[in-house]
């Protein structure tokens, strides 16, 4: 099973490139952000809890996100592979993912890290906010999401570098060119 983590700051293109990967490699998509937004839309307890964090651009607590992941993962067990989009975002989440995969006889296959500079990220997120209507795509929340990325999520890169699974890819250029580079990296490990 191909287990791809797509890694990068908010606005780096994870969602867009995930869609391309899903089509080309027939993968199931696990986006914790999408799961949380669906819970919010349905007005569940989990959704209500998540809303407070998402609106401020903060991370939803690890135990909540980790707890919800096992069920999602099991619902995808017949897929050819999974793409993890927006998870893991902290060291404890990465440890939990490795444990969950190990228990299922699997492991992380590759970590694709989309590299984009901060001014470009802010530009993209503001533009996306004008179209998406996402409550967290406003300047104040964007800034705190980028801080959270820098402080809590980007340290994961070092962790995946030591496992030899990290493939940094420049996330600037056309969507097609970037996807070509991602596909080459995935084909290399297959
Ligand atoms: P995303 O759609 O991946 O940009 O996620 C939107 C928001 O959902 C984030 O800013 C967090 O508040 C929350 N979120 C999504 N995934 C996670 C995660 N793995 N850990 C904690 N919070 C998350």
Residues 6 or more apart whose Cβ sits within 8 Å of residue 83: 4, 5, 6, 18, 21, 22, 27, 28, 29, 30
Residue 128 resides in a domain: yes
Average pLDDT over residues 82-106: 96
Average pLDDT over residues 101-117: 96
Query: CB–CB of 14/20 below 8 Å?
Result: no
Catalytic residue among 56, 76, 128, 157: 128
Query: Does the annotation count 89 as an active-site position?
Result: yes
Average pLDDT over residues 132-151: 92
Residue 189 resides in a domain: no
Average pLDDT over residues 75-91: 94
Residue 150 resides in a domain: yes
Query: Does the annotation count 14 as an active-site position?
Result: yes
- Total number of domains constituting the chain: 1
Q: What is the pLDDT of residues 13-68, one digit of tens each?
A: 999 999 999 999 999 999 999 999 999 999 999 999 999 999 999 999 999 999 99
> Count of alpha carbons within 13 Å of 3, Cβ hemisphere only?
19
- Using DSSP, state whether 149 is helix, strand or coil: helix
Gap from CA of 172 to ligand 1 centroid (Å): 23
Gap from CA of 77 to ligand 1 centroid (Å): 23
The CATH number of whichever domain residue 74 belongs to comes to 3.40.50.300
d(CA 34, CA 68): 12
Residue 7 resides in a domain: yes
Which residues constitute the domain of residue 172? 2-181
Residue 56 resides in a domain: yes
Beta bridge partners of 166: 111
- Give the closest residue (by CA) to ligand 1 atom 12: 54
Average pLDDT over residues 141-166: 96
How many of the other CB atoms lie within 10 Å of CB of 18? 23
- Using DSSP, state whether 61 is helix, strand or coil: coil
Residue 187 resides in a domain: no
Residue 92 resides in a domain: yes
Cβ < 6 Å from ligand 1: which residues? Answer: 10, 32-33, 36, 53-54, 57-60, 65, 86-87, 89, 93, 136, 145
Beta bridge partners of 110: 4
What is the pLDDT, as a whole number, of residue 133?
81
Query: CB–CB of 85/112 below 8 Å?
Result: no
What is the pLDDT, as a whole number, of residue 165?
96
Query: Does the annotation count 128 as an active-site position?
Result: yes
The per-residue pLDDT of the chain, averaged, comes to: 95
- What is the per-residue DSSP string for 117-141? -HHHHHHHHHHHHHHH--TT-SHHH
Query: Does the annotation count 104 as an active-site position?
Result: no
Residue 106 resides in a domain: yes
């Amino acid at each position: 099973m191909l287990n791809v983590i797509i890694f990068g700051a908010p606005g780096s293109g994870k969602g867009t490139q995930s869609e391309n990967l899903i089509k080309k490699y027939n993968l199931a998509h696990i986006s914790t952000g999408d799961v949380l937004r669906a819970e919010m839309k349905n007005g569940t307890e989990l959704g209500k809890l998540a809303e407070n964090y998402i609106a401020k651009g903060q991370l939803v607590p690890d135990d909540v996100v980790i707890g919800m992941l096992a069920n999602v993962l099991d619902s995808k067990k017949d897929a050819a592979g999974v793409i993890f989009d927006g998870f893991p975002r902290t060291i404890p989440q990465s440890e939990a993912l490795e444990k969950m995969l190990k228990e299922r006889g699997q492991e992380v296959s590759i970590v694709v890290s989309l590299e984009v500079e901060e001014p470009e990220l802010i530009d993209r997120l503001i533009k996306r906010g004008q179209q998406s209507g996402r409550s967290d795509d406003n300047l104040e929340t964007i800034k705190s999401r980028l801080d959270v990325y820098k402080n809590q999520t980007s340290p994961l890169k070092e962790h995946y570098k030591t496992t030899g699974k990290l493939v940094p890819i420049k996330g600037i250029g056309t969507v097609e060119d970037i996807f070509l580079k991602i596909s080459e990296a995935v084909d290399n490990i297959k």
